[in-house]
Structures are given as structure tokens and as C-alpha cells.
Amino acid sequence: MTTTTLSQRPKRLMALDVLRGITIAGMILVNNPGGWDEIYSPLRHASWNGLTPTDLVFPFFMFIMGVSSYLSLRKYNFEFSMPVVWKIVKRTVLIFFVGLFLTWFSMFVRGVYSGAEFWESVLTFDHIRILGVLPRLALCYGVGSLLGIIFSRKALKWLVAAMLVVYAVILVFGHGFEFAEHNVIAIVDRAVLGEAHMYTDYVDGVQLKFDPEGFLSTLPSIAHMLIGFLCGGLIVAYKDNQTRINKLFIVGTVLTFAGFLLSYGLPINKKVWSPTFVLTTCGLASSFLALLIWIIDVKGYRRWGRFFEVFGVNPLFLYCLSWVLALAVGLTRIPWSAAEGGMISIRAFVYQICLLPVCCGNQALASASFAVLFVLLSWGVGYYLYKNKIYIKL
């Protein structure tokens, strides 16, 4: 992990940082409600098929990662060389193991707090979840970036199409849209990862070992990243922001309509990362990026975006920080005589004792208010880094 100062950073398109920041703030928001019993529908993932605003957060970040990867590899003229390959591989491994470490750390801390033996809490590798958000980002960045320096932009378009078509065929003939044991995604993930290392999901009361960031569904995620990569090429190819906006809006409109139209045969489904999910979310991300370029970089309305820029310039650090903070407020207990045992977690104190009365007993409102406060807490740390021009990256 390295830090850079403002003078060392190349000139950036502010809209990219703002969109990246919106997605990170969104991730923190939806991952940290005060309570899980009552949550506003837009702040929940779709149970299976379908799309909610929450389902847009991760794919938007994946799209922006593709755009940023193009801008980064452009410095090396997309030439295949050992220094470039080493940089890609090193960053891939670091991001993957940071994600794995966070999962282990969470299990370790929870084990210690539950009274388990120390070494029993340390040695949780036999049932640790291997994949997840950061591991998926790492794999998509690594494979997508390597493909980006191996193939031409024209070839990449055909490769993306081939990936999505092949995956669509796998889903259709492999019961990919059924939440069941015989779903091809679950079968492959069980064979590759093992059930002990998979996520346990619940759909309509049915419990199943089904990983929404599993091994097989990484294939369309790589295609997702490459669509962002190609859109990064559009941004670089045209210096005029108005032309960039027009091109991105065209791409966004075509992809969004294609995704919704094809969803009649291939449902939009985040948990299987269906081809229509890729098309629709990439289309919406492209259009949203175009809108932000128009608002921020053309019209000059920049002040409102500073809040999200704080998240956007230190995205992985603040995401990881939010994970650690969530553990801290969820497990750290403070004295409270009215609580069972005379102790209560910081999360429960803020949510139940402070926010619920203020929200007149409305659990959904109190839960959302807690999530907003959590975002603001993370932002406070990010603002300190931003104000001091400290940028932490892998």
C-alpha cells in the first residue's frame, strides 16, 4: 500500500472520482443499517431476479474500475511487458488477499468476542469464505487488465460479446436462474471452492450454499469490467467533453435497452451476474457518468461533488475502514443498566436508544439514519486524508 501527494497525481476527470465515490458511499450505506429487520426496499438487494438501487452499487464500481484501468494502462501504451504484467499481478494479489484478510479478521474478532479459544478463532481457514467483493474486484481487474494489453480494442468487443453469449448458454441449459442445488453455478462453485468456503444465501425462505461472487459468475464480471475498459477508451479518444458525453450516452442507451429487452428470456439477476444484469448496469453506469461529466466538467457545478470525491480518491481504503468500523461498533459493548447483562453494543445503543425514539419508533427510518451516520463517520476519516492530500492505494 502506498501514498501519493496531489503533486504526484496525474490530472483527473472529476466526474470519475465522484461516481467512484458515490458507489463507495453507497456500499457503506447499504452494508451498515442500524437493524436488518426493517429496511427500506431501495436499500435491499433484490431477493433473486430483479433490480433495486442497491443492486447498482457494486456493478457501477466494477464499471468505473474498468474505466480507470484503461486510463492507467494507457501510460504504458497497452504494451505487453514484464513490468506491466508484474504490476497487474501484484495489485491483483494484494487486493485479493486484503479481501481474504478482512473476512478472516471478521471471523477472528467475532470468535474472540463469543468466548471461543484464541487459536480456534485464529485457525478458521477450514471454513473461511474465499471469494467476496474484493476478491471479485481483484480477479476482474487482473484478468481484464491482462486481456486489455493482449488484445486490441476491436478484438475486446468481440471477446466481451463471446463471454456473455457463452455464459447465457451456460445459464439457460444449466438451470442458472433457479435457486436450487442443481444450479450450474452452485455445482461449479461447490466443485472448485467447496461448500465450507461458500456464502450461505436465503431466497424466499430457502437456504442454500450459493455464492453471489462465486467462481463461475466471475466470467461475466470480467466482461463487465471490460465494458468499462472500452468506455475508458471512448473518454481518451475524444478530448472534447461534449463529444465524450454524446458517445457515453449512446453506449449507455444501447446497453440499457438491450439489457431490459433481453431480460424477457434472460432475467436480470445480480446473484448470478446474468448477461442482462451486465448490459443494464453498464448501460446505466455509462449514462450516469455522461451526466456527471456534463454537470461537473462542462457546467462547472463541482462543489456538491466534493463530498463524494472524498470517497472517490481513497475508495479501497475507506471501504476496508468501514468494514473494521462496522466490527467495532457492532461488537464493542458499553455499560447500560437497562440492557440485558447491563451492557449494550455501540450499534444497538445508537440505533435503539438514540435513533428509534427520535424516529418515533419507525425502525426503517432509524435503520437508514444509522447507515447515514455511519457513512458520515467514514467520510470524516476520508476528509482528513483528502484535506491533507493523502491518497492511499495498492
Q: pLDDT of 302-359, one tens digit each?
A: 999 999 999 999 999 999 999 999 999 988 888 887 767 788 889 999 999 999 999 9
Between CA 102 and CA 320 the distance in angstroms is: 8
Q: Is the pLDDT of residue 6 over 80?
A: no
At residue 160, what is the residue type?
A: V
| pLDDT value, residue 112 | 75
Region of poorest pLDDT, from 107-111, 164-168, 227-231 = 107-111
> In which band, very low, low, confident or very high, does the pLDDT at 9 lie, cut at 50, 70 and 90?
very low
Among residues of the chain, what percentage have pLDDT more than 70? 95
| pLDDT value, residue 118 | 62
At residue 110, what is the residue type?
A: R
Q: In the structure grid, which three cell numbers stand for residue 156, read together?
A: 475486446
Q: Which of 270, 267, 233 is nearest to 248 (CA)?
A: 233
Q: Give 115 or 71, the one with higher predicted confidence.
A: 71
CA distances from 149 to 161, 236, 326 (A): 18, 16, 38
| pLDDT value, residue 119 | 64
Q: Is the pLDDT of residue 195 over 80?
A: yes
| pLDDT value, residue 16 | 93
Region for 321 from its dihedrals, namely left if φ exceeds 0, alpha if ψ lies in -120 to 50, beta otherwise: alpha
> In which band, very low, low, confident or very high, does the pLDDT at 204 lie, cut at 50, 70 and 90?
confident
| pLDDT value, residue 159 | 97
Alpha carbon 122 to its chain's center: 27
At residue 309, what is the residue type?
A: E
Q: What is the pLDDT of residues 146-175, one digit of tens each?
A: 999 999 999 999 999 999 999 999 999 999
What average pLDDT does the chain have?
Answer: 91
Give the pTM: 0.93
Q: In the structure grid, which three cell numbers stand for residue 196, read together?
A: 465450507
